[in-house]
Structure 1
Amino acid sequence: MTVHQPIRPAEKRPLTVRLATPRGFCAGVDRAIQIVERALEKFGAPVYVRHEIVHNRHVVDRLKSMGAVFVKELDDCPDDRPVVFSAHGVPKSVPATARAREMLFLDATCPLVSKVHVEAERHHAAGRHIILIGHAGHPEVVGTMGQLPADAISLVETVEDAEAFQRPGEAPLAYATQTTLSVDDTAEILATLKRRFPELPDPHKEDICYATTNRQEAVKRLGAVSELVLVIGSKNSSNSARLVEVALRAGARDARLVDDAGHVDWSWLDGVSTLGITAGASAPERLIEDLVQAVCDRFDAQVVEDDGERETVTFKLPRVLTA
């Protein structure tokens, strides 16, 4: 008689998983989401939101399920329902139109983006021409450029753009930056501009927000020790896309941007002994938890939390929502 041995499940391969700290939501994103949630509680559904409140599909879908209606422009909103402006900021013409229509609007612009707007207006008032470093078409860039007359601000995206930029007229120059850029790439662009226009102030990082800077520093540590880094975030999230670039530059063999665990191709982990995991500033922590669980289901995973910057920043909500 043949004796059949019981079939044993294949042993899980060992894998070290390093979680970046900090990761996920920043204070500006948390505030923007709370504004939509509180507006729904106070005014009932529907509440309209001009553009995606933050660039994350999961966040947008959850708010839709609660009664938020996402639109491209104010023309798509009725006059008698609240409208929220996204965390990325809006051109001055948008709140002006809302006031003219006597709409109830709530501005969820991140205070650190608003700081850039104020800085650009200050330079303009002093007679300076502003060079804005950022990505064309990104809502934050559209909003910042929309604070000023079109001829008062020029967009520079790359070192090549910085080399080609020509001063318009005789006006002195100043600069501002999008808050979600690569710190290292921006430093290169600023160095090029400073070489060509020595009167520019010394490069600084104030416009690139603390959350972007902290997450890039954290992913540099992951990239230096991980063969693969997975970044949770949506494709239209600038800060998330920059994390992939930073991880590769730091030494990771591979880095991927994924919406969630369901978008991971597990063949990416072939030959990987250390996996780094992080999330962009608009990605909920539950997506990280789901990804870690999916990894643990497939591997004998040792999960290590990196020791990084602990963030304590918070921003106040609009008074109309807290009164």
Structure 2
Amino acid sequence: MGQPPKAMQEVLLAEPRGFCAGVDRAIEIVERALAKFGAPIYVRHEIVHNTYVVNDLKAKGAIFIEELDDVPPGATLVFSAHGVSQAVQREAQARGFTIFDATCPLVTKVHVEVAKLAKEGYEFIMIGHKGHPEVEGTMGQLDHGIHLVEDVADVARVQPAQTEKLAVVTQTTLSVDDAAEITAAVRARFPRIREPKQQDICYATQNRQDAVKLLSSQVDLVIVVGSPTSSNSNRLRELAARLGTTAYMVDAADELRPEWFTGIARVGLTAGASAPEVLVQAVIARIKALGAVSVRSMDGIEETVKFPLPKGLKTSAA
């Protein structure tokens, strides 16, 4: 007779997981703007790529728009955590909106680097995903001179106007391993290329990917909590799958399917940097209802990064 299927015993939680400092700050900016100025507050693009967060802020009075034409005169406008182009910034200022910039400071760091090196005559190769708002924002820091590459094959096709002054920048939420591979191809083709002092991929993306590498080898199945639009959440699921562990990404607990857990003894659980812990807890409750006996957190890096709020939204000292 065949062996009976394994009973589900344990949920293993990745550490760290979920919100990063940039996401915390972006959500707080919208909430404080609502408290200070009242609804509605207009937000250009989803403040962070998470359905639950966006719907929660909509219920509180945030209106999410893609085009500045949809913002009435005199309104308060927040730029999303992904950053915006210079053209969007100029247009918003020209229209006289009260603007709060929720761009993640680690994305702003890339924008500052691009502006500084462009003044020195540099062209850029940007590693990132075409159409992602962060990529559009970074490429929109200059009118021309930034060449996007999405994979190693793209590197061979890039035709910069010159190679004497060439620098590489990276979307902050990429797969660390993919970015390293593409960077190596860039370096091989353009040996004199200038690289950032610190890699552009953010600490939170790196930490969550490192945690999934540790997690994957210890479990039979990985569940990633994150929305389909979230770049860093998608990378977590891809990474677990690449390491040979079956992996699914869910936006909420009701997307979990009982058949995924048949014959699974241990489930690994993580969340992208824009996914709130309330969703993780709901997923844990659902997995327990499907038969898991215990929940355990892995050891992992404790993140202590905190980014300051923009002037005008800080609370005054009591």
Superposition TM-score tier, normalisation by shorter sequence: over 0.9
* CA–CA separation in structure 1 for the residues paired with 2:304 and 2:227: 25
Matched, 1:250 2:243: yes
Instruction: Give the residue type in structure 1 aligned to 2:189.
Output: R
1:132 aligns with 2:129: no
CA–CA separation in structure 1 for the residues paired with 2:8 and 2:47: 39
Using the alignment, how far apart are the partners of 1:73 and 1:301 within structure 2?
A: 49
Kept in 2, the 8 Å contact 1:90–1:140? The answer is yes
Distance 1:35 1:59 in 2: 13
Deviation of the 1:204 alpha carbon: 6.7
Distance 2:294 2:19 in 1: 24
Unaligned 5+ runs, structure 1: 1-11
What is the deviation of 1:165? Answer: 2.0
Contact 1:32/1:53 (8 A) holds in 2: yes
Q: Paired residue for 1:183, among 176, 182, 187?
A: 176
| CA distance in 2 between partners of 1:301 and 1:204 (Å) | 46
Distance 1:142 1:266 in 2: 39
Counterpart in the other structure of 1:160: 153
Paired letter, 1:228: L
Kept in 2: contact 1:194–1:202 (CA 8 A):
no
One-letter amino acid matched to 1:303 = V
Which 4+ runs in 1 deviate beyond 3 A? 201-205
1:60-103 deviation per Cα after TM superposition (whole angstroms, max 9, x unaligned): 00000000001111110011210100000000111211211111
* 1:184-212 Cα distance to aligned partner (Å, 9 max, x none): 00000011111111112468762000000
2:168·2:195 contact (CA, 8 Å) conserved in 1?
A: no
> Which residue is equivalent to 2:264?
272
Quote the residue 1:141 is aligned against.
135
Does the CA contact (< 8 Å) of 2:7 and 2:265 recur in 1? no
Write the letter of the residue equivalent to 1:18: L
2:305 is equivalent to residue 313 of structure 1? yes
Q: Report the AA paired with residue 297 of structure 1.
A: A
Is the 1:129–1:171 Cα contact (8 Å) retained in structure 2? no
1:236 equivalent to 2:229? Answer yes
Distance 1:265 1:114 in 2: 39
Contact kept, 8 Å, 1:190 with 1:203, in 2: the verdict is no
Q: Is the 8 A contact 1:127 1:171 kept in 2?
A: no
Give the Cα–Cα distance (whole angstroms) in 1 for the partners of residues 195 and 263 of structure 2. Answer: 45
Query: Which of 55, 61, 66 does residue 55 from structure 2 map onto?
Result: 61
Q: Which runs of 5+ in 2 are unaligned?
A: 1-5
2: CA distance, partners of 1:71 / 1:201 = 37
- Please tell me whether residue 71 in structure 1 is matched to residue 45 in structure 2: no
Tell me the TM-score normalized by structure 2: 0.94
- 1:82 paired with 2:53, answer no
Alpha-carbon distance in structure 2 between the residues aligned to 1:162 and 1:304:
43
Indicate the residue corresponding to 2:251 in structure 1. Answer: 259
Q: Is the 8 A contact 2:8 2:266 kept in 1?
A: no
Counterpart residue number, 1:292: 284
- Aligned 8 A contact 1:187 1:203 in 2: no
Cα drift, residue 255 of structure 1: 0.5
- Percent identity of paired positions between Structure 1 and Structure 2: 54
Amino acid at match of 1:109: T
| C-alpha distance after superposition, 1:95-138 (max 9, x if no partner) | 21121111101100000000000111122111111000000000
Are the equivalent residues in 2 in contact too, given 1:130–1:153 (CA < 8 A)? yes
Query: Which residue is 2:16 aligned to?
Result: 22
Report the CA distance between 1:233 and its aligned residue.
0.3
Q: Distance in 2 between matches of 1:248 and 1:186?
A: 17
Aligned residues: 310
**Equivalent position amino acid for 1:198 in 2:** P
